């Protein structure tokens, strides 16, 4: 197991280098004047342009500038924005909020999504199965901003069950509603994926063998069938966690959550390449680590999968 983890960590190195280079290239190779609008309606002074050009290595060839940026990243220095804000400090401020929001969303996916998929899979063709299929199809068909706006209006404003917006003092309760909105689309996919996987595995030979040997139905379903059925679900949830961290822009905007999504949105509007590059680099690292954890969980769910 230790050798497998070490090998995977070493495999991450070229992935991180390649991903960050692509991000850096896309951000800094965009045509246009990076100082346009930085000094209001007037053009920036030549001294300021020269200082910023030297600070951000804008005169260097792109590969050389990237190597210098990567060297700074390895020392924990994500740089400063054009406004003089530390990218690392902004990430430390915003990332925990988005992390908690993503974990709440993952919790909804696991609890509601898996439960709905199991109930539908065990009762294929029943009213409950059709209800799950239709309701998840409706959720998939509705844009996230519509779901968020409607739930915010009724559950947050009219009925006041949940806070309509997330204040500066973030609490678990205040993240429940935006967490559910963030998880809505993925929750529907999880339910349908569990349902399909469970139906297929119930027809497998090993399940018929277990039934023929006289094992209790609860053991056949709960251990033999469910463990194999959850493998594709774990894969989806693991990949979705990284997507939730970076894709919470709409949800954070609706509920006024000061997280990574809002930080990325404001940085893109301001054309702040340093902040965008730093945030996306961190998201790449988190995504790779989560995928490593998912691969390790495969061996727990199915002992036949070896990491040796």
The token duo for 24 is: 């850096």
Question: In the predicted model, is pLDDT for residue 296 greater than 80?
Answer: no
What's the pLDDT score for residue 28? 77
Could you give phi then psi for residue 27, rounded to 5 degrees? -80, -45
Domain assignment present for residue 296? The answer is no
Question: Mean of the pLDDT values across residues 34-38?
Answer: 68
Contacts of 295-304 with CB under 8 Å at 24 or more apart are 295/8, 296/1, 296/5, 297/234, 297/238, 298/231, 298/234, 301/227, 301/228, 301/230, 301/231, 301/234, 302/227, 302/228, 302/231
- Averaged confidence pLDDT in the chain: 83
SS3 (DSSP) at 191: helix
Domain assignment present for residue 34? The answer is no
Question: In the predicted model, is pLDDT for residue 189 greater than 70?
Answer: yes
Instruction: Categorize the per-residue pLDDT at 299 as very low, low, confident or very high, splitting at 50, 70 and 90.
Output: low
Domain assignment present for residue 122? The answer is yes
Please tell me the distance from the alpha carbon of residue 172 to that of residue 248, in angstroms, as a whole number: 17
Cα 263–Cα 266–Cα 271 angle in degrees, nearest 5: 120
pLDDT in tens, 231-274: 888 888 887 887 787 767 888 888 988 888 888 888 877 777 78
Question: In the predicted model, is pLDDT for residue 17 greater than 90?
Answer: no
What's the pLDDT score for residue 284? 84
Please tell me the distance from the alpha carbon of residue 87 to that of residue 68, in angstroms, as a whole number: 16
What's the pLDDT score for residue 233? 86
Domain assignment present for residue 22? The answer is no
Domain assignment present for residue 282? The answer is no
This prediction has a pTM of 0.82
- Full DSSP string of 283-303: HHHHHHHHHHHHHHHHHHH-T
Please tell me the distance from the alpha carbon of residue 46 to that of residue 199, in angstroms, as a whole number: 68
Q: Which residue has the tokens 């251990």?
A: 223
SS3 (DSSP) at 253: helix
Q: Taking each helix axis as running N to C, give the angle between helix 260-269 and helix 273-301, from 0 to 180 degrees, rounded to the nearest 10.
A: 150
**Percent of the chain with pLDDT strictly greater than 70:** 92
Domain assignment present for residue 208? The answer is yes
Where in the sequence is the domain holding 192, given as residue range(s)?
100-258
Question: In the predicted model, is pLDDT for residue 154 greater than 70?
Answer: yes
Please tell me the distance from the alpha carbon of residue 252 to that of residue 98, in angstroms, as a whole number: 9
Domain assignment present for residue 170? The answer is yes
pLDDT in tens, 163-179: 988 877 788 899 999 99
Question: In the predicted model, is pLDDT for residue 94 greater than 80?
Answer: yes
DSSP code for 175: G
First to last CA, the chain: 6
Question: Mean of the pLDDT values across residues 66-95?
Answer: 84
Please tell me the distance from the alpha carbon of residue 117 to that of residue 188, in angstroms, as a whole number: 9
Q: Which residue has the higher pLDDT, 88 or 239?
A: 88
Question: In the predicted model, is pLDDT for residue 159 greater than 80?
Answer: yes
Question: In the predicted model, is pLDDT for residue 307 greater than 70?
Answer: no
SS3 (DSSP) at 86: strand
Number of domains in the chain: 1
Domain assignment present for residue 272? The answer is no
Reference 226, options 188, 189, 195; nearest CA is: 195
Reference 188, options 221, 144, 156, 153; nearest CA is: 144
Burial of 259 (0-12, 13-18, 19+ CB in 10 A): buried
């Amino acid at each position: 197991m230790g050798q497998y983890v070490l090998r995977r960590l070493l495999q991450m190195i070229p992935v991180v280098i390649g991903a960050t280079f692509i991000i850096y290239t896309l951000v800094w190779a965009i045509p246009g004047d990076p100082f346009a609008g930085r000094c209001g309606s007037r053009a920036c002074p030549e001294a300021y342009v020269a200082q910023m050009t030297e600070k951000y290595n804008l005169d260097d060839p792109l590969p050389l500038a990237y190597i210098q940026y990567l060297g700074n990243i390895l020392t924990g220095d994500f740089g400063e924005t054009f406004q003089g804000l530390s990218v690392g400090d902004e990430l430390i401020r915003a990332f925990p909020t988005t992390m908690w929001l993503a974990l709440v969303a993952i919790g909804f996916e696991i609890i509601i999504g898996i439960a709905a998929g199991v109930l539908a899979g065990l009762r294929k063709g029943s009213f409950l199965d059709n209800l799950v299929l239709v309701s998840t199809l409706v959720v998939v068909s509705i844009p996230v901003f519509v779901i968020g706006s409607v739930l915010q209006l009724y559950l947050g404003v009219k009925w006041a069950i949940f806070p309509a917006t997330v204040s500066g003092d973030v609490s678990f309760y205040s993240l429940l509603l935006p967490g559910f909105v963030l998880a809505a689309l993925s929750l529907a996919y999880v339910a349908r994926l569990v349902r399909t996987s469970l139906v297929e595995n119930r027809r497998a030979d090993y399940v018929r063998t277990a039934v023929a040997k006289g094992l209790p139905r609860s053991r056949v379903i709960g251990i033999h069938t469910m463990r194999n059925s959850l493998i594709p679900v774990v894969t989806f949830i693991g990949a979705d966690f990284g997507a939730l961290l970076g894709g919470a822009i709409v949800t954070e905007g609706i509920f006024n959550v000061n997280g990574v999504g809002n930080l990325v949105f404001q940085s893109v509007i301001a054309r702040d390449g340093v902040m965008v590059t730093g945030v996306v680099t961190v998201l790449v690292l988190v995504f790779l680590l989560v995928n490593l954890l998912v691969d390790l969980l495969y061996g727990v769910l199915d002992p036949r999968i070896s990491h040796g």
